[in-house]
Every structure is written in C-alpha cells, then in structure tokens.
Amino acid sequence: MARPANFDSLSRDDLLLVIRDLVAKGLVSPTDIRGASYRSKRIAAVEAELARLRDGAPSRRGPGRPRGAGRAAKAGGSAPAAKPKRKITNTPARLAAMRRQGQYLGTLNKLAGSDRARVKALAKEEGVPAALALAKKLAG
C-alpha cells in the first residue's frame, strides 16, 4: 500500500486504527497522544496571543493578584511613608573590631575540628584577640 502524501487524505477511522496499533505495539503511549493534543492547543493559544499583540490590542492579564494588590492601601488611598534606614557610623574602633572578626573567622575555617573547639573556647574566656593569636599559631 502506498503512503499518502499527508494525513488529510486518511479517514478518521484509518487514523484511529493506526494509533491503536501503535499503542498495542508499545511504540506510542496514550500519554504521548494526550500530550500532543495539549501541545497543539497551547501553540494555538500562543499564536492567538501573538496576533493580538501584533494588532496593538492590550493583552489580558492571566490568573494571579490584580495590579496594586501588594501595596498597603489606607483609607486615604496612599501608601504609608517608608521608614528611613538607620545609618550606622563606622568608627575606627568598630572598623578594627570588624577586621579582627573577619581575620578570626577566616583563620578558624582553616583549622581542624579539635583545634577549632580550643580556639572557640579561648575566644569565650579571653576574647577574640587572644583566640586569633592561638588560631594563627595552630594554622601554621
């Protein structure tokens, strides 16, 4: 039997027979067939949306929150004023403490578990500068 040039020349019954035969042989699953149907519907929807956008019509919003729903609405209709962020002043002492803390953590990461526990215990008892000196000594 010669193959037709396209599927338009096949009858609906012939197509059903072919699909059932493919499913019976395990070459196609019913999920594949349903997926193909979904894909064609989705492609048609996307093409329709593109045509609508090309024509300049506004696109309709999909499901989800409406515009402006995230803003806090007051009785007056305006959003509350944002609280200004607190500016932290970096004093020389604060900068030195931050630098020490960074050095301490960086050196602590290089140590093995038992040495790390010793350094942490020393930091609790005598402070970070002493612990940093011990950590540098243990790290090599």
Q: What is the pLDDT of residues 14-49, one digit of tens each?
A: 888 888 888 888 888 878 877 777 788 888 888 888
Q: How far apart are CA 119 and CA 101, in angstroms?
A: 13
- Return the DSSP state at 121: H
Of all residues in the chain, what percent are helix, strand and coil, respectively (each to 5)?
60, 0, 40
pTM for the complete prediction?
Answer: 0.39
What are the Cα distances from residue 62, in Å, to 3, 49, 67, 76? 44, 12, 11, 29
Q: What is the pLDDT of residues 57-66, one digit of tens each?
A: 665 666 666 6
